[in-house]
């Protein structure tokens, strides 16, 4: 992960030139380094070269749509992806989240909101620690951002890692979705709980032996989630 000594690099993928430029102005004003791509293909092509710390991805793109871009990016990287969407009432949002986006912003949004959301995803520069956590039969190397089962590495995106670490730190505590949104996603006000649901599903599909009957991230009906005992 890039340290904050060098500015975080944001890749903005939006076919609307005006908004891309405006986002660029706002983000540069906040000290980010910004690159823009007008469509999915060029974004995918530029991605390995730019190695951005976060991708700001418009869902409605000409040619390959945002969801497909998201899916392909996720295949090769755990980079935080923030979707921009004009529609919240369609299945787009859930589809985008399931394709691997970490979070989403609905147009129109406040510049402050955009910056807050970006910072929430790239802020994680924690002091070095040798903290070792375990949850179920997994061991978490907090400093190395690594999760292992029987010594075998399980690749997680930073968001999934944060989510798991959050649950593992206080295994006795039941986290409501609102609390997770605040602690993991950095929302100060209540937000879309679908974010939590979708990412818990994605996390389970990676760490659970049997995602249908989860034993590591357990649902507490009507409340939220907590760490389970494992198998």
Partner 1 sequence: MSTEEGPAAEPDAPPSAGRWERVQRAADPRRWSLALRVVVVATLLSTLALLAVGAYLSTVIADGLYEQRRDRVLEETVEVRDDLGESLAQLPGSTSTQQQDAVRAFVQSTGGQGGGDRREVALVPVETTGTLFPVASSDRTLFDEVDDEFAAAVAEQPDAVSWRSIGREGPDGRTSPALLVGTRVVVPGAGSYDLYLIYSLQEEQETLGFVQRVILGGGLVLLSIIVGIAIVIARMVTTPLKRAAHAAERMAGGDLSSRVEVAGADELARVGESFNDMARSLAQKVDDLTELSYVQQRFVSDVSHELRTPLTTIRMASSVLDARREDLPGELQRTTELLAAQVERFEVLLADLLEISRFDAGAAELEAMREDMDALVERAIEDVRPLAGARGCLLDVRLGDGSATAVVDARRVDRILRNLLTNAIEHGAGGPVLVQTASDEDAVAVVVQDFGHGISPEDARRVFDRFWRADPSRARTLGGTGLGLSISVSDAHLHGGWLQAWGQEGEGAVFRLTLPRRPGTELVRSPLRLERPFDRERADAAVSSTPTGEIRIGPDLLPVLDADPVEDAPSEGERR
Q: Which residues contact 224 (CB under 8 A, 6 or more apart)?
A: 174, 175, 176, 177, 179, 180, 196
- The number of residues that bind partner 1 (CB under 8 A) is 18
Alpha-carbon span 60 to 209, nearest angstrom: 36
Contacts of 193 (CB under 8 A, 6+ apart): 177, 178, 181
Point out which span in 36-44, 102-110, 140-148, 171-179 binds partner 1 (CB under 8 A): 102-110
Residues 49-78, interacting with partner 1 (CB under 8 A): none
- Nearest-approach distance from CB 55 to partner 1, in angstroms: 18
Query: Is residue 89 a contact point for partner 1 (CB under 8 A)?
Result: yes
- DSSP, collapsed to helix, strand or coil, labels residue 175 as strand
Q: Residues with Cβ < 8 Å from 90, sequence gap 6 or more?
A: none
Comparing CB distances to partner 1, the nearer of 88 and 173 is 88
Residue numbers 110-139 binding partner 1 by CB under 8 A: 110-112, 114
Other C-beta atoms closer than 10 Å to the C-beta of 3 total: 7
108 near partner 1, judged by CB under 8 A: yes
Coil, strand or helix: which one is 77?
coil
Handedness of CA 154, 200, 68, 104 (dihedral sign): negative
12 part of the interface to partner 1, by CB under 8 A? no
Considering only 12-20, 151-159, 179-187, 196-204, which stretch makes contact with partner 1 by CB under 8 A?
A: 12-20
Could you say whether residue 1 binds partner 1 (CB under 8 A)?
no
Q: Does 23 bind partner 1 (CB under 8 A)?
A: yes
Nearer Cβ to partner 1, position 23 or 159?
A: 23
Residue 94 touches partner 1, criterion: CB under 8 A: no
- Give the residue, chosen from 2, 7, 9, 26, that forms a contact with partner 1 under the rule CB under 8 A: 26
The distance between the two most distant Cα atoms of the chain, rounded to a whole number of Å, is 52
Q: Strands across the sheet with 138-141, in order?
A: 132-135, 138-141, 146-149, 152-154
The DSSP result for 214-229, as a single string, is: -SSEEEETTTEEEE--
* CB closer to partner 1, 125 vs 223: 223
Residue of 86, 125, 153, 220 interacting with partner 1 (CB under 8 A):
86
> Given the rule CB under 8 A, which of 13-21, 39-47, 159-167, 194-202 is the region that contacts partner 1?
13-21
Binding site for partner 1 (CB under 8 A): 16, 18-19, 22-23, 25-26, 29, 86-87, 89, 107-112, 114
């Amino acid at each position: 992960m890039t340290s904050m000594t060098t500015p975080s690099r944001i890749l903005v993928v939006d076919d609307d030139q005006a908004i891309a430029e405006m986002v660029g102005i706002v983000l540069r004003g906040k000290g980010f380094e910004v690159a823009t791509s007008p469509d999915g293909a060029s974004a995918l092509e530029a991605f390995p070269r730019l190695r951005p710390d976060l991708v700001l991805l418009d869902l409605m793109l000409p040619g390959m749509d945002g969801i497909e871009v998201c899916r392909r990016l996720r295949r090769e990287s755990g980079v935080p992806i923030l979707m921009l969407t004009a529609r919240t009432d369609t299945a787009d949002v859930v589809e985008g989240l399931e394709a691997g986006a970490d979070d989403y912003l609905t147009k129109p949004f406040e510049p402050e909101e955009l910056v807050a959301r970006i910072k929430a995803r790239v802020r994680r520069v924690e002091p070095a620690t040798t903290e070792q956590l375990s949850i179920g039969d997994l061991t978490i190397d907090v400093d190395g951002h690594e999760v292992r089962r029987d010594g075998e590495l399980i690749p997680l995106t930073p968001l999934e890692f944060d989510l798991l670490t959050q649950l593992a730190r206080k295994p006795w505590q039941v986290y409501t979705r609102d609390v997770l949104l605040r602690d993991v996603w950095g929302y100060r006000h209540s937000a879309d709980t679908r974010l939590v649901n979708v990412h818990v599903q994605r996390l389970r599909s990676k760490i659970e032996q049997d995602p249908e009957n989860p034993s590591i991230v357990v649902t507490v009906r009507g409340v939220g989630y907590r760490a389970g005992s494992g198998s």
